[in-house]
Structure 1
Amino acid sequence: MKKIILLFLLLHTLTMPAQIIYADYSDPDVCEGTAGDYWLTASSFQCTPGLPILHSTDLVHWELVNYAVERLLPIEHYNTVQHGCGVWAPSIRRHNDTYYIYWGDPDFGVFMVKSDDPLGRWSKPVLVVEGKGVIDPCPLWDEDGRCYLVNGWAASRCGFNSVLTVRELSADGNQVIGKPILVYDGQVEGNHTIEGPKFYKRDDYYYILAPAGGVEKGWQVALRSRNVYGPYESKIVFNKNGIHQGGWVADKFIAFQDRGPYGRILHLLDVEWKKEWPMMKELKSDRMKSKKCKSPIKNQYQWHSNYQDTFGLTTNSGVRVYGYAVPPDFKNLWEVPNLYLRKFEGETFTDTLHLTITATNEGQQSGFVVMGRDYCRLSVELQDEAFVLKRIICKDADRDGAEESAIIGNIKAHSYNAGAKTNYECHLSVRLQCNKGGLCHFCYSIDGCQFTPVAIPFQAREGKWIGAKYGVFSITHDAKSKGWVDLKFCATPFNE
């Protein structure tokens, strides 16, 4: 797999903490590699491929180099869109030169994958802890080889939260051999909604680092004990700017901050040990130098659910997304599983997508979408053997919001004999310009060169636990005759 250099945005001010990745990598965790380098993973929820693997040699510059999971389990469950479910708050650890990733699925339990090479193929997921509400797991291998797992709890699934438990696993980390022991109740000390624990041992202390207080206004708590099962004493070690869950390595702490439509961007903090407590402070961004790096587009895209072969296929120049058969009472794209989307990267950015749209029947729609709880799509629809370009807006898509459409252009269709019927084809390039705050401006072109602006901008909005994403869609009311959209990964205009 080709390395995909992420877009990094460091703000050169004295008042903001160091932002190392201005893109949606929620609930990050990090470990040191065998070569003194670093590996990072993050929540991917229902999107696949999942569990992104990022690599760095300095904790500042990161490359997306792999994914650890191709499809989520149970496969049938995640073949449909399960917004906000799936991979929650993973942890990545290296033990005996094998890399392990554990994550909690709030509906099914704790899963684990492992690999001797983070760049290679990861093992099939193993269900280590079965049950609802078990989330945010992190393992710790002690000096004697015994393995322990700390985790949080999701009230939405089990009726309680704000507590952390520890249980013993088999030495290979594959199965539970002990019952969960409650080691900390955050409600007692005002650390409500404590979650996302990360497990460490330093000298004679066991440490659990965990955020409390909620995503937007929370704080970092450190727990320590000389016994793995406690009792643990606590201390708030950072409380500023809504910096939330993360991981500690090499006396640095990588954590996320929620930025609405951009999702959860990553920050780098210093860790200073004072009286055996890991006190954190902001690294000022003027202390580091970074560049915006251009990136190949291909592997930055994810499907909005488990990938199925009928969703779309890789081509020699990109990806083809086939029309998803929507029901007669179709309301909006929220339940369409084969959306092919990528993250916003950077507070401001511009990207151009080159599409070839093919329709086999009247009413089929394909095109470009900025997706979230609100979304905007530029939809090409076949009507009377020609294409109509529409700007379609949906507010509160997650609450069955209705779409509103307006015709903004017409595109001549190229027809060709496809055997039993005639196919209709056109080209469409869409240029997205994202300004501060996630305000999106669109332009479109039918030749890839001359662009026409769409008069009304769109305010992007986050999805469920993820930032806004953009990419392509295709829908049809006829499951037996699907149209499609081809997305080109090269930037060559169609007339060259």
Structure 2
Amino acid sequence: MTSAETTGTYRNPVLNADWSDPDVIRVGEDFYLTVSTFTKVPGLPILHSRDLVNWTIIGHAVTSGYDDVRPGCGVWAPSLRHHDGRFWIFYGDPDVGICQVNAAEPRGPWTEPHVVKEGLGLIDPCPLWDDDGQAYLVHGWAKSRAGVNNRLTLHRMSPDARTVLDDGTLIIDADLLPGYRTLEGPKLYKRDGVYWIFAPAGGVEYGWQSVFRAESIFGPYEDRIVLRQGGTDVNGPHQGGWVDTPSGEHWFMHFQDRG
């Protein structure tokens, strides 16, 4: 799993493998990453790094799955977070709903999947525990199950991440944004009192990465496209995670469709 020696330099891709929909966090001096695994078992691999370049698999958060072949099912687009001394992974199963697993240590043991919100087409969830103790959950929609997509919904969530507390608020309707299609994969952050949502749009292969920000978690959000193919030969910068380093650098790790 090591992609380069620790020399202070790197070359993309740092992980030249099928690691779709990555999310990454830092806890102290350590970085952790997980990805979509769909119906593969074990699922939700946990990768560890000290430099964002050299990665090692240290475990898996899901060890059970379907008994038959179900293409396009299972674990979609996880979000990895560290809160209240525990590691949390939220993911969408488009045929079940939004699920979470958690553990005291990244190597596990992890809890069994718990359904936070039931429903078809609920995908790409991301939690946020705010400074005042309130908890929130944002997610996207899979048109194949829900009949709609290109929008992000925000819920109030119980701080123990057991359930959502309301019916949800549509905070970004990308049908109203010129040129937007298939907005998905939201990652929700709060930095310096401002709420940020990193979210890709336009489809995996030829899409782009947008960032939305607002003074209130419920919006209104302003948007900006921050990463796209443009005139390069590097297609579709797709969803990933925003992470900082102990020295104060900021990085974005994402995946790319290469067939």
Query: What is the TM-score of this pair, normalised by structure 2?
Result: 0.91
Residue 258 of structure 1 corresponds to which residue in structure 2? 257
Equivalent runs, 1:258-407 vs 2, <5 Å: 258-260=257-259
Letter matched to residue 172 of structure 2: Y
Query: Could you give the per-residue CA deviations for residues 276-310 of structure 1, whole angstroms, max 9, x where no partner exists?
Result: xxxxxxxxxxxxxxxxxxxxxxxxxxxxxxxxxxx
Aligned residues: 244
Q: State the Cα deviation string for residues 174-219 of structure 1 (Å, max 9, x = none).
A: 1111221001111221221110000000112110000011011111
The Cα of 1:96 is off from its aligned counterpart by 1.5
Say whether 1:28 aligns with 2:17. Answer: no
Query: 1:215 and 1:17 mapped to 2: Cα distance?
Result: 22
Q: In structure 1, give the amino acid aligned to 2:107.
A: L
Q: Could you tell me which residue of structure 1 aligns to residue 185 of structure 2?
A: 196
Could you tell me whether the CA contact under 8 Å between 1:169 and 1:175 is conserved in 2?
A: yes
Structure 1 position 131, deviation (Å): 0.2
For residue 150 of structure 2, what is the aligned residue in structure 1? 162
Q: Please tell me whether residue 68 in structure 1 is matched to residue 86 in structure 2.
A: no
2:199 maps to 210
Equivalent residue number for residue 47 of structure 1:
40
5+ residue gaps, structure 2, are: 245-249
In structure 2, the residue corresponding to 1:20 is in which secondary structure? coil
Select the structure with the greater relative contact order (CA < 8 A; seq sep ≥ 6): 1
Which aligned runs of 4 or more in structure 1 are off by greater than 3 angstroms?
A: none
Which protein has the larger Cα radius of gyration, Structure 1 or Structure 2?
1
Q: Report the Cα distance in structure 1 between the residues aligned to 2:150 and 2:171, rounded to whole angstroms.
A: 11
SS class of match (1:19) = coil
Q: Which of 204, 227, 237 lines up with 1:238 in the alignment? A: 227
Distance in 2 (CA, whole Å) between partners of 1:258 and 1:192 is 17
Residue type matched to 1:219 in 2?
W
1:179 aligns to what SS in structure 2? coil
- Contact 1:9-1:22 at 8 Å conserved across structures: no
Provide closer, same or farther for how the CA distance between residues 196 and 17 of structure 1 changes in structure 2, counting only shifts above 3 A: farther
Displacement of 1:222: 0.5
Partner of 1:412: none
1:81-115 deviation line (CA, Å, top 9, x unaligned): 11121000000000012100000001110110000
> For 2:108 and 2:122, how far apart are their aligned partners in 1?
28
Distance in 2 of aligned mates of 1:54 and 1:195: 23
Per-residue displacement from partner, 1:146-195 (whole Å, max 9, x unpaired)?
A: 11011000000011100001001101111111221001111221221110
Equivalent residue letter for 2:243: V
Deviation of 1:17 after TM superposition, in Å, equals 6.7
How many Å separate the matches in 2 of 1:99 and 1:209? 21
Q: Distance in 1 between matches of 2:175 and 2:131?
A: 32
Which one-letter code corresponds to 1:211 in the other structure? P
- Which residue of structure 2 lines up, in the alignment, with residue 289 of structure 1? none
Q: Supply the AA of the counterpart residue of 2:37.
A: S
SS in 2 for 1:144: coil
CA deviation after TM superposition for structure 1 residue 8, in Å: 2.5
Give the alignment of 1:44-193 within 5 angstroms.
Answer: 44-72=37-65, 78-189=66-177, 190-193=179-182
Does the Cα contact within 8 Å between 2:4 and 2:53 map onto a contact in 1?
no
Alignment deviations for residues 122-164 of structure 1 (CA, whole Å, 9 cap, x no partner):
0111000100010000000100111101100000001110000
Unmatched runs of 5 consecutive residues or more in structure 1? 1-5, 11-15, 73-77, 261-496
Conserved? CA contact 2:21–2:255, under 8 Å = yes
The answer to whether the 8 Å contact 2:196/2:212 transfers is: yes
Q: CA deviation at 1:7?
A: 5.0
Aligned residue runs from structure 1 range 456-495, under 5 A: none
Q: CA deviation at 1:237?
A: 0.8
Percent of aligned positions that are identical:
50
Whether the aligned pair in 2 keeps the contact of 1:91 and 1:198 (CA below 8 Å) is yes
TM-score, normalized by length of structure 1?
0.48
Match of 1:222? Answer: 211
Between the aligned partners of 1:9 and 1:24, the Cα distance in structure 2 is 18
How far, CA to CA, are the matches of 2:100 and 2:159 in structure 1?
14
Q: Is the 8 A contact 2:204 2:238 kept in 1?
A: yes
**Aligned AA (1:63):** T
Amino acid at match of 2:40: C
The Cα offsets for residues 436-461 of structure 1, whole Å up to 9 and x where unpaired, read as xxxxxxxxxxxxxxxxxxxxxxxxxx
Distance 1:118 1:81 in 2: 29
